[in-house]
Amino acid sequence: MFRRLLWQAFARQRTRKILALTAIVAGMTVVTALLSLRVSAGDALNRELSAYGANILIQPAADTVPLDLNGVDLRPAGAGAYLAEADLGRIKQVFWANNITAFAPELFVPVTVAVAGGAAVPATLEGTYFDRAIAIPGHAHPFRTGLERLEPAWSVTGRWPSDPAPQPDSAAPLEALAGTTLAARLGLRAGDRVLARTAHGSEALAITGIVATGAGQDDALIAPLAAAQALAGEPGKVRDVLVSAITKPEDAFARQDPNLLPPAEAERWMCSPYAVSIARELQDNFPGSAVHPVRPVAETQGVILHKLDLLMLLITLCALAACALAIASAMSATLVERRGEMALMRALGARQGAISGLFLAEAAVLGLIGGLAGFALGEWAAARLARGVLEMSVGWNWIVLPLILVLAAAVVAAGSAAALRRAARLEPALLLRGEL
């Protein structure tokens, strides 16, 4: 009998049930799409943000007197301490190795730069990696990294230089980038050659591109690390290392000193991918280093991700609220239409719980069908958005399905609650006499 009543309720009120089902499907589609994008594309989005500038800096522990202008180290090449280039592979041996997307060493050298037939001008030469394969101890495959991967937002007119081969051809000059300001001073264009000179020697460089960074590198030459080491007279040495890592937005817990936390809390701090915890891990694994987050970059990434999460949460709550209101409207209309039927059932001895159970069963069927359909449409929409906006492919996140079904049931129950309370207060005798 219960199943027959349930079937008749759907058969007699098709239009109203279709409208309620449409509201559930629309709400669950929005929620599924947002959740799937956050689950599937969250790491990709974090990786995209982390790629636009380093958020961790590795420096020599003994180098305690920094002197820089707009991000360019102005200290003499012999000042302070250095890090060993041979230790760079250790960066990818830490616990958070998979979170580190790129790194690039830096060595700044004061030089004089001259174009053939022109006067020499003072400038800074930054030695670094552009796109190099680094052997990682204990790993079968090398890790490709360099400034080209670390700073994809830089605007290069021309092309990025190539890193020299392990045994470069001595007849071919090394390739370099010229900052826009320096290029304007010297009248440089892609394809020109310059001569960089220090007390330790000179190096011919072929300019492959003019770069606009919006920072101190606009008035510098950016050359392979080997050229800077030769001009500085410091083979195998680097001044610092820029690291880009996927991090968790910093919160109040991240600002705690792990040495003062209880053991369980300290372990949770170390196992959270904060910029500070990754920096601490790097410092423990990199000999003679002092590692700290680049605060403006790390905090900006955290703020953007936090605001995106809040925006997704707000849209999700709005979608669920709209869905609940639509269900409440449909159930109230159903109650008005079926008052006589309910009064007759009560008069024949049906308990209020049985009548409420019938309404809840109708709502549960709507929630189940709407949840499944909304999940399918939401996953399709998430895949289209990920491909069109983030240029990445994502699969279906079946882990989201149980949550969507629970949310659909909760929304239907919330929307039906008011109608069920009204149904419980109806007087069968008055309804049968037509007084209500």
Residue 381 falls inside a structural domain: yes
* Each residue's pLDDT tens digit, 18-76: 777 888 888 888 888 888 877 766 555 655 555 566 889 999 987 645 555 555 555 55
Are 193 and 319 part of one and the same domain?
Answer: no
* Domain final position from 228, 259, 293: 293
Average the pLDDT over 121-133 and give the result: 93
Helix (H) or strand (E) holding 184: helix 180-186
Are 190 and 332 part of one and the same domain?
Answer: no
3-state secondary structure 387-428: HHHCCCCCCCCCCHHHHHHHHHHHHHHHHHHHHHHHHHCCCH
Strand 220-224 vs strand 121-128: parallel, antiparallel, or unpaired? parallel
pLDDT band at 196 (very low <50, low <70, confident <90, very high): very high
pLDDT band at 77 (very low <50, low <70, confident <90, very high): very low
Are 60 and 98 part of one and the same domain?
Answer: yes
pLDDT of residue 249: 74
Residue 107 falls inside a structural domain: yes
Residue 78 has pLDDT above 50, yes or no: no
CB atoms inside a 10 Å sphere around CB 252 = 6
Are 308 and 419 part of one and the same domain?
Answer: yes
pLDDT of residue 124: 93
Q: Which stretches within 262-338 are classed as H helix?
A: 263-270, 275-285, 295-337
- Mean pLDDT of the residues in the chain: 79
Residue 160 falls inside a structural domain: yes
pLDDT of residue 2: 47
Distance CA 200, CA 16 (A): 86
Are 272 and 336 part of one and the same domain?
Answer: no
Residue 284 falls inside a structural domain: yes
Residue 235 falls inside a structural domain: yes
Are 127 and 272 part of one and the same domain?
Answer: yes
* Each residue's pLDDT tens digit, 339-387: 556 655 666 555 655 666 667 777 778 788 888 998 899 888 888 877 7
In the three-class reduction of DSSP (H, G, I as helix; E, B as strand; rest coil), residue 222 is classed as strand
Show the domain range for 311.
2-46+304-432
Which of 89-93, 362-366, 409-413 has the weakest average pLDDT?
362-366
Which of 37-51, 79-93, 130-144, 151-165 has the weakest average pLDDT?
37-51
pLDDT of residue 178: 94
Are 25 and 152 part of one and the same domain?
Answer: no
Are 159 and 13 part of one and the same domain?
Answer: no
Give the range with max mean pLDDT: 88-92, 257-261, 284-288: 88-92
Higher pLDDT, 299 or 222: 222
* Domain final position from 271, 293, 315: 293
Are 107 and 209 part of one and the same domain?
Answer: yes
Number of compact structural domains in the chain: 2
Are 114 and 228 part of one and the same domain?
Answer: yes
Q: How buried is 188 (Cβ within 10 angstroms: 0-12 exposed, 13-18 middle, 19+ buried)? A: buried
Residues 6+ apart with CB under 8 A from 108: 72, 73, 74, 75, 77, 124, 125, 126, 127, 220, 228, 239
- Single-letter residue type at 44: A
Q: How buried is 55 (Cβ within 10 angstroms: 0-12 exposed, 13-18 middle, 19+ buried)? A: buried
Residue 298 falls inside a structural domain: no
Residue 299 falls inside a structural domain: no
Instruction: Let me know: does 33 contact 385? Beta carbons within 8 Å.
Output: yes
Residue 240 falls inside a structural domain: yes
Are 208 and 328 part of one and the same domain?
Answer: no
